[in-house]
Amino acid sequence: MDDLFFFIIAKYNYWAAIVLLFIGLFGMIVRNNLMKKIIGMVIFQTAILLFIVSIGAKRGATVPILKFSPDKQPMLDAATYANPLPHVLILTAIVVGVAVLGVALALLQKIQRVHGTIEEDEILEDMRK
Amino acid sequence: MTWDASLLWQFDILILLMMVICAVTALALEGLLSSAIATGVYSFLICLMWTHMMAVDVAFTEAAVGAAISTVIFLGTAQYISRWIKKDRPKEQGIKQLTLVIAMICAGMMLAATRDLPDWADTASPASTHLSPGYIEQGYFETATPNVVTAVLADYRSYDTMFEVVVVFAAALVVMVLLRHTSHKHRKVLHLRPKREGRDTVLRGAAQSIIPVMQIFALYVLFHGHYSPGGGFQGGVIFGASFILLALCYNLKFSMNRFKEHAVLWCCAGGVLLYAGIGAACLSLGMNFLGYGALADGLGVSVVMARSHGILAVEIGVGITVMAVMVSLYYDLASGGDLEDGL
């Protein structure tokens, strides 16, 4: 029983990331509405980000900002700070993510203007005419 | 193996479950506005998750970008589009079952593969034992910046950050090129919308008192990024959000009178130029591109302090570009590109 418990505790973050990844992918493939496809893309993206940040987490560690001892010396035990590298990569990825979202929504508005709809099947019909 | 009680795994699992529910809700709902709100809730939840994994800088960025700006531009697009949307669509047909089966098989394989990954929050995992201890142990002595994330972002990996800023800049240009139109065909449609002349006294009063505080806070976040969570990205987004709040509470024109479009464009380009210019200055002083140590003689400080000042300078560049890009994205997306009337 304890083994199972520790197994779940050790992996649940990865599982959540994978489940979210496939919810996003499924939404992107199945939904007809292009706005829903974009939301699927956002969920897919955050699932990957969640996975990468999970890799950088450390048990019992604090935020990666150095603490100082009373005599003004930094405390440099690497095991007590979370891994800063995934944080840096994800921080910039989030901002680039919103830029990508902006471009996607701009394309969406353009499609709406040209075809008069954002439903995939109706756009295809309109293009065949 | 033991686990640390302070990890609060029950809390984690609760948040992750709520995230899955929000993701499914956002995709399953029919209305565009309600989907956009569900996505915003999802962002706030993942923000909690990141705080809990001690990624405070990431959580800060997510709260400002994912939960605030993304939701606003989603809503802007949704209200622009839903004026044309037909209500009585037939129920969606499709390849649902087949996709579901394939997705579940792939997910099952990936879930099985997690057995080979290091345990979550394992201090001895490969990711945490090779490169990152070097940043933590030497970062302070090389850059005089206690916030390791800021030091890595703007010094060790500053090429990376510079091109991320270029990507953000390019995205703002793409949105502008895609949406800006001068033909009068569409303008007629847009003018059908009733002009919003409501007297939102409470909203406007609240905005008037909160916007100056927001802007000061944004500057604090930017300039204090060496010592606390924050930096150019977060500060820039918060500063941009103050103009978006102005546009939401009054109207688009009101905000655009204070921050004109050509000023926005100048800021977009100016931040990138400042960043690249500092890199070029280092190059011309005989060091590598973005090797801030070259500025030591010019500033009259030690090499370590020069790197600290260099980080601050490029963070200001990042902040200016990100602020202008967020405002530009809002202006274009909320008004459908004609900049007449927005959300």
- What number is the ipTM of this complex? 0.93
DSSP A20-55: HHHHHHHHHHH--BHHHHHHHHHHHHHHHHHHHHHH
pLDDT for B1: 41
Q: Cβ separation of A53 and B53 shorter than 8 Å?
A: yes
pLDDT in tens, B139-157: 899 989 999 999 999 999 9
CATH number at residue A96: 1.10.287.3510
How far is the CA of B172 from the CAs of A34, A93, B258, B332, in angstroms? 21, 16, 19, 9
Give the H or E element holding residue B328: helix B303-335
pLDDT top residue among B341 and A108: A108
* Contact between residue B65 and residue A90 where contact means Cβ atoms under 8 Å apart: no
Say which residue the tokens 């489940």 belong to: A19
Q: How confident is the model at residue B188 (pLDDT cuts 50, 70, 90)?
A: very low
pLDDT exceeds 50 at position B36: yes
Query: Domain-by-domain residue ranges, chain B?
Result: 1-94, 131-343
Other CB atoms within 10 A of residue B30 CB: 11
- CA–CA separation, B240 vs A4, rounded Å? 48
Range of the domain at A60: 2-128
* Contact between residue B121 and residue A59 where contact means Cβ atoms under 8 Å apart: yes
- Residue from A85, A89, A90 whose CB has the most chain B CBs within 10 Å, to mutate: A85
Q: In 3D, which of A95, A115, A120 has the Cα closest to residue A38?
A: A120
Beta-bridged to residue A81, according to DSSP, are: A62
Q: How confident is the model at residue B196 (pLDDT cuts 50, 70, 90)?
A: low
Q: Which of A18, A87, A105 sits opposite B149 (nearest CB)?
A: A87
The number of distinct structural domains making up chain A is 1
pLDDT exceeds 60 at position B2: no
Mapping DSSP to helix (H, G, I), strand (E, B) and coil, where does residue B340 land?
coil
pLDDT in tens, A111-125: 988 888 888 888 888
| B residues 75-104 closer than 8 Å to A (CB) | 77-78, 80-81, 84-86, 89, 92, 94-96, 99-100, 103-104
